[in-house]
Chains A and B, each alone.
Chain A
């Protein structure tokens, strides 16, 4: 008979108080979130694959990407909306996904709250920032040192 010490299993000690179910939520938020994950997922397949295809596969691949490339794209409302939709959907989808993961693994309510607050703030900042960038984007900024897209008026 051999025996070696391993970690003790989860037990009913003071640290893990007697089983208690969280108060029920009485809202359909989780259902809506669940449904959103699927719907946004399907849409994202189109958006992201299109995005990747255009950015990485067409023309010169990743090496074609520079300021001019981006500016060229966003000068068309089509790509503006495309990228905007992608930004929002991917961010909401990803935020909700990470929220689920935090809910799963954060053991104490405090940790859970903190992590989720950080997550929401970060997501909000990114979404707002991204949106602003897409809408307020000026493809032909004044005083640029590098080559601007060809459609820009020559300064």
Chain B
């Protein structure tokens, strides 16, 4: 029996792909947040447990993950502001495409210095050792 619509992928434009990105980053952040609250709660259990878990964040794999998370948050945040502008600014819908480019540029502008700093710390500390 036929079940679901099939065929080629709908070739949406910027608007659709930015929404796909927004949705995925939203879920990613949410899942992280759940975990993050749980691990932070360990401070209530005992400082040792917390330190142990936080230690796990300090290896380079997690460091990279952390970078990805920040990338996701920054995109989600900026694009969220774009969506809000589309909703409330009269000319928002007209300039949605331009605003998306602005979001992406702002994302790069924020991410580059952050990555430089963050990754240096992550890797220098790992290799340099404490």
A and B touch in the complex (CB under 8 A): yes
The answer to whether B29 and A42 have CB atoms under 8 Å apart is no
B34-51 interface (Cβ within 8 A of A): 34, 37-38, 40-41, 43-44, 46-48, 50-51
B117 touches A57 (CB 8 A): yes
Give chain B residues whose Cβ lies under 8 Å from the Cβ of A144: 46-48
CA distance in complex: A133, B42 (Å):
9
Distance in angstroms from B93 CB to nearest chain A CB is 15
Using a CB-CB cutoff of 8 Å, which residues 84-134 of chain A contact chain B? 87, 90-91, 94-95, 97-98, 101, 122, 126, 129-130, 132-133
Q: Can you add 10 more A-B contacts, CB < 8 Å, to A57-B117, A71-B43? A: A8-B6, A9-B7, A41-B77, A45-B80, A56-B114, A62-B66, A63-B130, A130-B41, A133-B43, A136-B44
Q: Which residues from chain A sit less than 8 Å from chain B, CB to CB?
A: 6-11, 13, 15, 38, 41-42, 44-45, 48-49, 52, 56-57, 60-63, 65-67, 70-71, 87, 90-91, 94-95, 97-98, 101, 122, 126, 129-130, 132-133, 136-137, 141, 144-146, 148
Which residue of chain A has the shortest Cβ distance to B50 in the bound complex?
Answer: A67
The answer, yes or no, to whether B33 is at the interface (CB within 8 Å) is yes
Number of interface residues of B (CB under 8 A): 46
Of the residues B29, B70, B84, contact of A38 by C-beta under 8 Å: B84
5 contacting pairs across A/B (C-beta < 8 A)? A65-B57, A67-B50, A97-B26, A130-B37, A141-B47
